[in-house]
Amino acid sequence: MKVVAIFLVVLCLAAIAGLGWLYLNSNLTVSFAQVIATDPVTQPEAFSTVKNGIASDTFTGTRFVSGELGSPEDYLFYTWTVHLENNSFLPARVIEMRITPMSGDVLVLGDMTEHSLSPHSSGDLSVTALTARSMHSVREAVVTWYVWGLPFSARLTLGR
Lowest-confidence range among 21-35, 52-66, 124-138? Answer: 21-35
Selection from 128, 149, 150 nearest residue 137 by Cα: 128
Q: What pTM was computed for the model?
A: 0.84
% residues pLDDT > 90 (the chain): 60
Selection from 29, 50, 33, 39 nearest residue 108 by Cα: 50
Residue 39's domain comprises: 26-158
Q: How far from 115 is each of 13, 143, 150, CA to CA, in Å?
A: 34, 12, 16
pLDDT computed for residue 4 by the predictor: 86
CATH code for the domain in which residue 98 is found: 2.60.40
- Does residue 54 lie within any of the structural domains? yes
